[in-house]
Amino acid sequence: MAGKAAPKAAVAIPQLGWSKVRPATIVLVSGTEDFLADRAIRILRDTLRAEDPSLEISDLEADAYGPGELITLASPSLFGEPRMIRVTGVEKCTDAFITETLAYLESPADDTYLVLRHAGGVRGKKLLDAIRGGLGNGIEIVCAELKKDSDKLDFAAAEFAVEGRRITGGALRALASAFSDDLAELAAACQQLLADASEEITEATVEKYYSGRVETNAFRVADIAIAGRYGEALVLLRHALASGADPVPIVAAFASKLRTMAKIAGARGGSGQLAQQFGLAPWQVDRARRDLQGWDDAGLGRCIELLAETDAAVKGGGRDPVFAIERMIGVISARGA
Amino acid sequence: MSVWDELTGQSEAIAIFRAAAADSSLRDAPIGDSAMTHSWLITGPPGSGRSNLAYAFATALLSPPDPEGEEATRRQVAARTHPDLGVLSTEGVIIKMADVQKFVTTSYFSPSVSRYRVMVIEDADRMVERTSNVLLKALEEPPPRTVWILCAPSEADLLPTIRSRVRSVRLRVPDVAEVAELISRRDGVDLATATRAARESQSHIGMAHRLATNEEARRRRQLTLDIALGIHSVSDAVVAASKLLALAGEDAKAITEERDAEEREGALRSLGIEPGGTIPPALRAQLRTLEEDQKRRATRSLRDGIDRIMVDLQSLYRDILLLQLGVPSEPINLAIHSQLVSAAEATTAAATLGTMDAIATARKRIDGNVSPALALEAMLISAAR
């Protein structure tokens, strides 16, 4: 993970995962996943506080930084307590922050731990490059977003492993698919199971706590409906609506799929050639070809007309947006018949 | 020379306004059965010159001794800088309520140099119901020297409560010959091109001017019709919809892009930021407001582009329908007569009527915020049948 996020410039400092965080004069917490970053910073704080309970913690906001603030906080105090300075919003920092932090990096104060949270973006690149180049002798904690399902499974497994608890593979998968959208929710669910369930955690336990919850999105609903699996599509639609999907983007997802199918239906040629012609990716063309099995021209036409009608209905033209979508799914999974 | 000279084909409406202006300058008496009243509504199809007529009337009212319009006043009205003229128009999809409230407040000021304060609202149909209600009180009992002039495509676009408070003047669709004569006289185009432009724009004076003088606009119109005539399957229809949308987008972009850049530069200059300099966070909100306004204008201009395409398509199917029914009437798209005939033979009148209904439905859907691509696709699919 650390290697993937590495920039092109040479990196002269250790880049660690969030769980490997350790005290250093400069700790750069980069990446878009706020939840992991918060956790890493919390672990760091707990470690430092365990070392010396007199730790003094101060917070800075880099986007509202005024000249001199960093030096004020980092200058030595009378009793020489260790200090931890947490800086948020480095991705939106002021110019003064960059120049003063660079100056500070030249000679970091003793017993002071500077934590910089940078949530991605190009702002402050000069500062990041300086830190990564080894100035101030810091470390970088990379908190990239967990995109793959396997990453999320690993994350959940680690949650249980830390506490020394056993969980079955099936239970783990059920849990990860129930909270596939938000890592913070997944972590909270793990914590709840750890706190409440007594012995080994099995599928039955997960079922008891989060029964039937499946997080899904509009495109999955569209895929299933277009494949003609009516009942399954309706169930999935309800899951999508229950886990926060809105009717309007659902219709848009259907529209974009059917549009691609209609374009491909009337065209001949290799998928690379068609992809170029219609401004699509080759896999989209192949996918549309597979989806088209069992469809005919008239059916596609009827479905697209119904989509326009449904779009009007979910945008205030009808009384019940959900009913409009259900009706649409009925027609689409019958392939317009 | 008089303010009324430049208006084409609306002699009846002009007579009404001229009488009103003359009457108001003759006497100061209470308005009873006189030709003058305090609030007017001008209705007529797009391009018939509603707002031009409104400004001509405003000029006549603002130059008291002369119902034909003084030269100085005319220039001030043309520049919209006359102190006693209030103008409310919009480049967005709707007029905002806050703007109307501010506008109504200024209507209570006394005139400073003229005998009247004239308040003009172009696009009065672009007000939602809540916004229209703000006007009611001011329209019903304006101060003695304020005159309201509203413009809208038809009376049905306004609330009954507004309609009952105004005197309505209807404009008619000008003759093709009249528009052609105006275009060829004003823009120096030969009469044949002008006639074709006038016919293809269905007497919309602004559009006729554009078609007659802009090669690119002519090309886009021709392309629209070609695309529509080439649809034979659902797949064709979907591809055609994306082409038409791109055309409308090109059209809209041509109008807005340059202006957007200019406005941004002007705003940066008045905020004191050097070109290429960074924008201080405190000023970003102002630029964001500007960008939001520009985005609203872009939405409107895309919708206008789509609307033009639909008007063109409607004219195409009208011609086909007339041929199918055997009505001896001159087609709008005379230039592609042979294609019209073959298209008419390929389908039935019922199918053509179905397509025209689909165009009307698509219009309604786009008004209801349905995504334009989807509305166009559904419309063209019915043309494919």
Asked whether residue B56 falls in the same domain as residue B114, the answer is: yes
B124: domain CATH number is 3.40.50.300
Considering the domain architecture, whether residues B26 and B64 belong to the same structural domain is answered as yes
Q: Residue B42: name the closest of B155, B151, B156 by CA.
A: B151
Name every chain B residue with its beta carbon within 8 A of the beta carbon of A255.
371, 373-374
pLDDT score recorded for residue A311: 93
pTM, 2 dp: 0.68
> Looking at the 3D structure of chain A, how many domains does it have?
3
Q: Which domain holds residue B182?
A: 176-213
A238-244 contact pairs (CB < 8 A, 24+): A239/A213, A239/A214, A239/A215, A240/A216, A241/A322, A242/A213, A243/A181, A243/A213, A243/A214, A243/A215, A243/A216, A244/A181
Distance of CA A334 to the CA centre of its chain: 35
Complex ipTM value = 0.74
End-to-end CA distance of chain A: 49
Residue A289 corresponds to which tokens in the numbers above? 């070809």
Q: What is the pLDDT of residues A289-318, one digit of tens each?
A: 888 888 888 899 999 999 999 999 999 888
User: Is residue A6 included in any domain, yes or no?
Assistant: no
Domain of A248, CATH number, reads: 1.20.272.10
On whether both A224 and A206 belong to a single domain, the answer is no
Query: Do both B208 and B194 map to the same domain?
Result: yes
Cα angle A140, A142, A148 (rounded to 5 degrees) comes to: 165
Stated as kind and residue range, the H or E segment containing B364 is: helix B349-367
Inside any domain, residue B156 = yes
Angstrom distance (rounded) from CA B173 to CA A309? 33
Domain of A58: which CATH number? 3.40.50.300
Which range of B59-63, B317-321, B337-341 scores highest in mean pLDDT? It is B317-321
Residue B3 domain-assigned? no
In a domain, A197, yes or no: yes
Instruction: Indicate the Cα dihedral angle B219, B221, B226, B227, nearest 10°.
Output: 110
pLDDT at residue number A6: 44
Distance CA B171, CA B209 (A): 19
Q: Is residue A2 part of a domain?
A: no
Domain assignment present for A297: yes
B150 and B17 in a common domain: yes
Q: Does A267 touch chain B (CB under 8 A)?
A: yes
Based on the fold, state whether residues B189 and B297 are members of the same structural domain.
Answer: no
Which amino acid belongs to residue A116? L
User: Rounded to whole angstroms, how far apart are CA atoms A138 and B84?
Assistant: 69
Tell me the β-bridge partners of A61.
A88
pLDDT at B24: 65
The reply to whether B153 and B20 lie within a common domain is: yes
Q: Which residues of A touch B382 (CB under 8 A)?
A: 305
Task: Determine, for residues B371 and A298 on separate chains, whether the beta-carbon distance falls below 8 Å.
Answer: no
Query: What is the average pLDDT value for chain B, to the nearest integer?
Result: 85
Q: Are B212 and B197 in contact (CB under 8 A)?
A: yes
Give the domain range for residue A25. 15-142
Query: From chain B, which residues contact A within 8 Å (Cβ)?
Result: 233-239, 242, 281, 362, 365, 368-371, 373-375, 377-378, 381-382, 384-385
Tell me which residue of A94, A82, A84, A88 sits closest to A37, measured CA to CA.
A88
A71 and A118 share a domain? yes
In terms of Cα–Cα distance, which of B298, B289, B290 is closest to B264?
B290
Spell out the alpha helix ranges (H) of B40-190: 50-62, 71-78, 97-106, 129-140, 160-163, 176-187
Which amino acid belongs to residue A326?
A: E
* A3 domain-assigned: no
A4, pLDDT greater than 50: no
**How do residues B87-136 score in pLDDT, each as one tens digit?**
998 887 888 899 999 999 999 998 888 888 999 998 888 888 888 888 88
Distance CA A70, CA A115 (A): 12
* Look-up of token digits 């499946």: A214
In this complex, is the C-beta atom of A309 within 8 Å of any C-beta atom belonging to chain B?
A: yes
- Under DSSP, the state recorded for B330 is -
CATH of the domain at A192: 1.10.8
Q: What percent of chain B has pLDDT over 90?
A: 15
Find all residues with CB under 8 Å of B133, minimum gap 6, and list them. Answer: B159, B161
| Structural domain includes residue B2 | no
Q: How many domains does chain B have?
A: 3
Q: Which bin fits A137, alpha (ψ -120 to 50), beta or left (φ > 0)?
A: left
Tell me the average pLDDT across A34-50.
Answer: 89
Q: Do A315 and B368 touch (CB under 8 A)?
A: yes
Which residues on B lie below 8 Å from A252 (Cβ)? Answer: 371
